[in-house]
Amino acid sequence: MYFATLLTSPTAPSLDPALVDSLRNAWGGGDADWLAVDEAAEFPLETLPSNQWEVWADLQNMGVDLIILPAKDRRKKMLLADMDSTMIQQECIDELAEEAGVGEHVKDITARAMNGELDFEGALTERVGLLKGLDQSVIGKVLAERITFMPGGKALLATMKANGAYAALVSGGFTAFTAKVAAELGFDENRANTLLVEDGKLNGDVGRPILGREAKVQALKEITTRLGLSHDDVMAVGDGANDLGMLGLAGAGVALHAKPSVAAECDIRINHGDLTALLYIQGYKKSDFAA
């Protein structure tokens, strides 16, 4: 048994009941259940449709995301989330680079690294090197003035935690940012890289070992072992090439507004919804969301 979920952007909900019924009838699905009016609906399926991805592509052009997941163990017991461009709307290193006057150069390196064109560790050390001499106080300024949360994040954390889930934030970014983001959103723990400081200024390097793709996989393995969970109990979410390892290992790996090369390797792709989409695909209704 499977569930097919259709959803749209919460800021412009436009899911047509006729579209839901048409697809349900074409695939021989059960009765549709609306999770949020005009925004998200689901229906059960006995088997996976052979034309799932052709239909997915057509729906993308209509501003609709389609996700099909097994009904068994759909509600996950752990959330493992990337931070940059996932739980926050920015890349923290790009924002620091703007303050350092090297914004465009660093943004280009970031984009190529997240798309899998560059080695993550090498790209990180190169970008951090360009921040050398930046006053440590700039981190607080960037946090206060430049960082905004991805829509739906607070509802996602509050709802999953209210239903007993554990939440971990794992980032190739920096602890100075993950600590604040984790505290504000309600993550149980956070892991990231440490910017090294000398005499109140960034010294152009990060602590070792560098947390990259493999460290995110290791975090998933370590935390599930500690909590007595299986990998299938985990919903992981990210957008960059360094997230692919954990997305592939988790029971549900979500590519959220991801780079095309990343989304292509994931079966769960959210391009129109926000982070509340991760609740809908677990079968939560909007009325179930925790405050």
State which of 72, 98, 117 marks the end of a domain: 72
Residues 18, 133, single domain; the answer is no
pLDDT given for residue 131 in this prediction? 96
Residues 54, 165, single domain; the answer is no
Residue 162 token pair? 């209210």
Residue 291 token pair? 């405050």
- Beta bridge pairs of residue 80: 168, 236
Q: How confident is the model at residue 25 (pLDDT cuts 50, 70, 90)?
A: very high
Residue holding tokens 């793709």? 213
Query: Total domain count for the chain?
Result: 2
Mean of the pLDDT values across residues 91-105?
Answer: 95
The whole-chain average pLDDT of the chain stands at 96
Quote the Cα angle for 160-241-86, to 5°: 35
Name the catalytic one among 84, 233, 239, 243. Answer: 84
Phi/psi of residue 234, each to 5°? -105, 135
Residues 160, 40, single domain; the answer is no
Residues 81, 63, single domain; the answer is no
Residues 203, 123, single domain; the answer is yes
Residue holding tokens 């910017």? 195
Domain, as residue range, for 27: 1-72
| DSSP annotation of 207 | -
Each residue's pLDDT tens digit, 31-67:
999 999 999 999 999 999 999 999 999 999 999 999 9
Residues 37, 145, single domain; the answer is no
Q: How far, in Å, are 110, 136, 233 from residue 197 at the CA level? A: 22, 7, 38
- Beta bridge pairs of residue 78: 166, 234
Each residue's pLDDT tens digit, 191-246:
999 999 999 999 999 999 999 999 999 999 999 999 999 999 999 999 999 999 99
Domain containing residue 278: CATH number: 3.40.50.1000
Report whether 47 contacts 30 (CB < 8 A): no
Q: How confident is the model at residue 291 (pLDDT cuts 50, 70, 90)?
A: confident
Q: Could you tell me how many residues make up the chain?
A: 291
Residues 113, 139, single domain; the answer is yes
Residues 157, 107, single domain; the answer is yes
Mean of the pLDDT values across residues 75-94?
Answer: 97
Residues 110, 167, single domain; the answer is yes
State which of 72, 95, 127 marks the end of a domain: 72
Name the catalytic one among 82, 94, 233, 274. Answer: 82
Residues 6+ apart with CB under 8 A from 184: 149
Residues 37, 110, single domain; the answer is no
Domain containing residue 43: CATH number: 3.30.70
Each residue's pLDDT tens digit, 130-189:
999 999 999 999 999 999 999 999 999 999 999 999 999 999 999 999 999 999 999 999
Residues 214, 127, single domain; the answer is yes
Residue 84 annotated among the catalytic residues of the structure = yes
Residues 105, 203, single domain; the answer is yes
Quote the pTM value: 0.96
State which of 48, 72, 96 marks the end of a domain: 72
- Measured between alpha carbons, how far is 28 from 1 in angstroms, rounded to an integer? 12
